Chain A
Amino acid sequence: SQTIHQWPATLVQPVGSPLSLECTVEGTSNPNLYWYRQAAGRGLQLLFYSVGIGQISSEVPQNLSASRPQDRQFILSSKKLLLSDSGFYLCAWSPGTGALGGYTFGSGTRLTVV
């Protein structure tokens, strides 16, 4: 069966420090991968999606970047964190057929920038 792993679960980082959040999927090939951010009272905002290795699409301009070095690995990064980067980050995957197969979400990373 397919599983999605996301880590760390919680992270407290100072302003200006770098960030690396990792997401991996098991049990499937060529998944579509997504990074969402959930800020308090603002629902879920799609940050990046990827349909293949090295293919990254950004939905909103921001202080973050994403990379997909391997088929089932998706990384969210920042060179210098801002206070506004605080939030709950969720990774998700769907089959190559897209939403038809449904999304499966990771358990999330709570990032607090201080």
Chain B
Amino acid sequence: AQSVTQPDIHITVSEGASLELRCNYSYGATPYLFWYVQSPGQGLQLLLKYFSGDTLVQGIKGFEAEFKRSQSSFNLRKPSVHWSDAAEYFCAVSGGTSYGKLTFGQGTILTVHP
């Protein structure tokens, strides 16, 4: 069965600092990987996704993520965090079946200090 682990429940950074959110997945074949962001009381918005090809993917809002098969990781990064990035971030994996079921990690809450 597929699974996702986000080791950090809560991360605090200062505005302007760099950010890396960790994600490790478990899946027997080539995974489809996603990062979503959720503002309080809202639905989820897709930041970026990886299916194949270049292992460094660019997303919206200046985020990027790197797929490392050898480490089973898909970490999210941003070079300079803005106060508006404060939210909860979810990593997700799918096996790419016809129904495309996504399995999510537990989420990482990001707090940004001014």
Contacts and interface: CB of A to CB of B under 8 A. Distances in A.
B41 to A, nearest CB: 7
Contacts of B70: none
A94 B99 CA distance: 8
B98 A51 contact: yes
Interface of B: 9, 32, 34, 36, 41-46, 49, 51, 90, 94, 96-107
A103 B90 contact: no
14 contacts: A41-B9, A44-B44, A44-B90, A46-B103, A51-B98, A97-B100, A98-B94, A98-B100, A99-B32, A102-B46, A103-B102, A104-B46, A105-B43, A105-B44
B24 to A, nearest CB: 14
Interface in A69-114: 90, 92, 94, 96-108, 110
Contacts, number: 72
Contact of A90 (B34, B44, B96, B105): B44
Given A98-B96, A102-B46, A46 B101 contact: yes
A22 to B, nearest CB: 15
Chain A interface residue count: which class?
Answer: 20 to 34
A42 B96 CA distance: 24
A43 B51 contact: no
A110 B96 CA distance: 30
A43 B100 contact: no
B100 A107 contact: no
